[in-house]
Amino acid sequence: MSFTELGLSDEILRAVTEQGYSTPTPIQSQAIPAVLRGGDLLAGAQTGTGKTAGFTLPILQRLASNKRHTGNGRKPIRALILTPTRELAAQVEESVRVYGKYLKLSSTVIFGGVGIHPQIKLLSQGVDILVATPGRLLDHMQQGTVDLTHIEILVLDEADRMLDMGFIRDIRRVLAALPPQRQNLLFSATFSDEIKALADGLLNAPAMIEVARRNSTVEVIAQKVHPVDRNRKHPLLSHLIKAHQWSQVLVFTRTKHGANKLVEQLGKDGITALAIHGNKSQTARTRALAEFKNGSLQVLVATDIAARGIDIDQLPHVVNYDLPNVPEDYVHRIGRTGRAGAAGEAVSLVCVDEHDMLKGIEKLIKRSIPQEVITGFEPDPNARPQPIQLRSGNTGGRTQSKQSKPANGNARPASSPKSGAPQKPASKPRSGVPSGRQRFSGRGKELT
């Protein structure tokens, strides 16, 4: 199957070829014709499968071939793409620009954490395609600075994450502002009951596509566990980076505080590192990501939510400095490497506190990960596990006993707070939102 067989226009094919893509990925070869037919779509696909082009290309094609706007007034927004995080929103809009470069369609992205006025200005000029995170979109709706009454196509990207992050009410408010006659595309990595309920209410006789889950494609990624004592992780990481001369390493920590501390420690070892997490400004995060992508930054330290959707081709090394407390996040993390079939390496530094987490992960990926003790970093055989701190301790975080219940791959354990989650205790869990996820108000927050 080649892109030319999918019914895409020459302008789009040209842009795709310029990206160096020769063969559509499985999600693309299934989603593109389905979206071009005009019906609704329910797609099970994770980041790294090529899903963004899977919906962007046919949307561009449909909008370009069906020009609605003829008048002189402001162009109405015709496609709305909602994403859970700012990074993902920015990347999706970048894809829209790249694939649509030979078309006369305009796009913009709006998300929180940056000034609203430049966004208002861009929106007032009129755009065809709007990529947004739910919270900021609602702000614009409330201020009357966005008009969604001409939306022809709606995309919910990473819908499971949006629900995890407490955006369901925001999404429902957005849906209520859309015209009833439209095409709906829902992309989700997992299908919880909540997602099914959302899909049931939103989609009309959808085409259904499910491509191989990441945890069945982890085969291309060389995975390794280095057992180590908890207080020797940092020297071990510096040793590995130096010994192997790793130049582009994405390192995951469980907490924002842990990310900051590690950046400082690596700096002292002469290794350039920056952190991205929810306490960093959008500018700092964008800068860190850009430096990391262009190779001037050796190590990027990230928490799970901040890293969600980071799109870096063929990232050679991912390090789990801390194991994630939700086994599925391990799969998301290591999926940053070995993308689109390229081989990658994922290394986990595991101390005695994390043995149950490791078991949960191995159960999820249905294989045991080879272990290698590094000489000079042998773990103390008499070490006893300690409870794991799941949140940063600097803002009233509390220590919780480690989570030993493995997720089933489709749902997160309701009791597991995620790193990167807001740190204020919630007053009470809302129905439909896992109790570990907290909300500041009636609105979801962008937690990247």
Choices 44-52, 255-263, 289-297, 347-355 (CB under 6 A): range interacting with ligand AMP: 44-52
Q: Contact letters (x/-) for ligand AMP, 22-41, by CB under 6 A?
A: -xxx--x-------------
Q: Should residue 340 be labelled a site residue for ligand AMP when binding is judged by CB under 6 A?
A: yes
Structure tokens at 57: 């290309």
* Closest residue to ligand AMP using C-beta atoms: 52
Residue of 44, 48, 166, 258 interacting with ligand AMP (CB under 6 A): 48
- The answer to the question of residue 53 lying near ligand AMP (CB under 6 A) is yes
Span near ligand AMP by CB under 6 A; candidates 48-56, 142-150, 161-169, 354-362: 48-56
Question: d(Cα 360, Cα 324) in Å, to the nearest integer?
Answer: 10
What separation in angstroms does the CA of 30 have from each of 37, 84, 228, 341, 369? Answer: 11, 24, 44, 18, 33
Smallest Cα–Cα separation from 307: which of 363, 254, 258?
A: 254
User: Would residue 144 be called left, alpha or beta, if left means φ above 0 and alpha means ψ between -120 and 50 degrees?
Assistant: left
Q: Within its chain, how far is the Cα of 375 from the centroid?
A: 36
For ligand AMP, the closer of residues 305 and 390 by Cβ is 305
For ligand AMP, the closer of residues 308 and 437 by Cβ is 308
With respect to ligand AMP, which residue has the nearer C-beta, 159 or 390? 159
Contact in structure between 163 and 192 (CB atoms under 8 Å): yes
Query: Do the Cβ atoms of 315 and 337 come closer than 8 Å?
Result: yes
Q: Which two tokens stand for residue 59?
A: 């949307």
Question: According to CB under 6 A, which one of 136, 140, 257, 339 is a site residue for ligand AMP?
Answer: 339
Residue number, 185 or 421, with CB nearest to ligand AMP = 185
Could you say whether residue 49 binds ligand AMP (CB under 6 A)?
A: yes
DSSP 3-state of 120: helix
3-state secondary structure 65-84: HCCCCCCCCCCCCCEEEECC
336 is a contact residue toward ligand AMP (CB under 6 A): no
Q: Where are the alpha helices (DSSP H) in 245-389?
A: 256-268, 282-294, 304-307, 327-334, 355-365
Residues 305-334 that bind ligand AMP (CB under 6 A): 311, 313
> Which is closer to ligand AMP, CB of 266 or CB of 306?
306
Q: Which is nearer to ligand AMP, 308 or 439 (CB)?
A: 308
State the residues that interact with ligand AMP by CB under 6 A. 21, 23-25, 28, 47-53, 311, 313, 339-340
